[in-house]
A and B are shown apart, each in its own frame.
Chain A
Amino acid sequence: EPEVTQTPSHQVTQMGQEVILRCVPISNHLYFYWYRQILGQKVEFLVSFYNNEISEKSEIFDDQFSVERPDGSNFTLKIRSTKLEDSAMYFCASSSRGIGAQGYTFGSGTRLTVV
């Protein structure tokens, strides 16, 4: 069964450093998403991406965040200058249809720890 692959599974970084979280969506999917879950809290929507541009973003997704689909297969989330409060599990998802939940496939997540 097709799956969404995320790398790395765990990333430790120093505060102020830039990190890039990588995702390989399902090959025929057109819509891509990032969600995150701070430990003990809710899974929160960050951003959706379609046709090489952001289609929707939450208020969490501020100027320190960016997304990119650099080569037609990878979908990356960049955090420019990490803060302690960015420590969380980050989930990538893709779907063949629109922003709704029908047909979402999630990756297994990247646990980001900022020290």
Chain B
Amino acid sequence: GDSVTQMEGPVTLSEEAFLTINCTYTATGYPSLFWYVQYPGEGLQLLLKATKADDKGSNKGFEATYRKETTSFHLEKGSVQVSDSAVYFCALSDHSGNTPLVFGKGTRLSVIA
């Protein structure tokens, strides 16, 4: 079945450092890809998404590009802030939108001042 693998955490960075959280997937067909974020005490929030190959999703300074050739959707941010400390989840869904989300395990990011 479909699956998502993302890098193990926790990741600890200093403020203004560059962030990469790796995500690779296994899926039949052409899934839609997502990054969700969970801030402390809050629910899962959609951060960004991409629905086809070479699409770039972006939001709040975060970016991820849908790479079909490497089956990857790595999350990047050029300069992290303390407020970015959260758990980040990579996920996929069938392109038709008719299947439930398949999540990775999540990566905890801590940004220190």
Contacts and interface: CB of A to CB of B under 8 A. Distances in A.
B43 interface: yes
B44 A101 contact: no
A48 interface: yes
A101 B34 contact: yes
B44 A106 contact: yes
Interface of B: 4, 32, 34, 36, 41-46, 49, 89, 91, 93-94, 96-106
Interface string A75-111: 0000000000000000101000111111011111100
A70 interface: no
A6 to B, nearest CB: 8
Given A101-B91, A101-B93, A45 B101 contact: yes
A99 B42 contact: no
Contacts of B44: 43, 91, 93, 106
Given A42-B103, A43-B106, A100-B93, A108 B42 contact: yes
A99 B99 contact: yes
Contact of A56 (B36, B43, B100): B100
Closest 5 CB pairs of A and B: A100-B97, A43-B103, A45-B100, A106-B44, A106-B43
A33 B41 contact: no
B1 to A, nearest CB: 11
